[in-house]
Structure 1
């Protein structure tokens, strides 16, 4: 579907100050403008009919009629956008409710017993989540080492051992690269906890424990028709942090009482 906003951005350099004022008015009153004649729009924006016609042609359109068609199409997508927003909220709400009953005990125990904890993100978003993971766990005096690059230095296989724990954050858990890393880590005895989107994946099978995110494809952007939210990653890491903070406190209290 042709997006009117995208057209304006495409021809933005051709628009003068008056054109931009016209577009600003249209953008703020799309529904009302869709029913206006060219004369009525000219009066509403305090310009002439000729100026409106010139503005429309600068957008590569044949005339005001074509502009009105695209504007109406844009308005028709608004309910879909609202629906996508509600779907996004439902997705996050449902995911949080699922985590309410999840037992994080084994994951927390692996973190607590590990000599060192590492986290590795396989992509841009995953690396950002890894850094958030590192920041959060510092609050409970747990130093987490993260890999800042997209590559996994082979020298790490000589450093890691059975006393270490690594979180691998991957979208599918099914790429050759991440599976090769996981297999070599298993040979060193390193404990692995996977964070993936899909429950049935090879990385999860190679891991000691698995954590999953739920997400859904949303269609509200012409440039990203299958947009996926990244928030579940951050929600999962924060919920795990809260669970671990309580777990560690309980372990320390029990230790002091002996």
Structure 2
């Protein structure tokens, strides 16, 4: 039995050396082989499914999933936030320290394809900000941060970083309308990407640290359905100077 985990189903997967994509026997077959009730197996299967350890589909049955830390962290984080929304600040602090600790390692692993993607995300974000009315580039924000760390061979780090954005969205932080704040955020992002492209990881790190402090002075949300409330923006706000992106 796995230490600390009372699951006949998971023990069966490990004992039989099953890998991602491998199919498990039916619950009836497992029940007979393991000599436990189908009801108990169903309970264990649901836990394994919620944790992302297996997938269950009508035609393909039960299969082992590739390991990801994200489902377990996301489930626990969203539960915690539902009980106490202030816990997001604690998780946000953890996420910041993780990004800082792994930044140089992550940047060193980026490919030309990755840096091209980062530059494209900057362009897309400013294009949204320049629309009338402006749109919040949240998808670009999430993808930019995760792209920087995508090459790390550490599922725990990547799971924690990705779960942060699920919590970010659950807290409604992806929907608000302060234009100056959005412009400042993306100016920092452009600086980080330019420094990465130039091979100056230390400068990119310095800008990352400064950028994370912006959340502390974030204005209250005023937007609906992911679109900036145009009435909250002045004509002066709508004219922005887009930073130059390194070639």
- TM-score, scaled relative to structure 1: 0.25
- TM-score, scaled relative to structure 2: 0.26
Q: Rg: which structure is higher?
A: 1
Quick one: higher RCO (CA 8 Å, sep 6+), 1 or 2? 2
Q: Which has the higher strand share?
A: 1
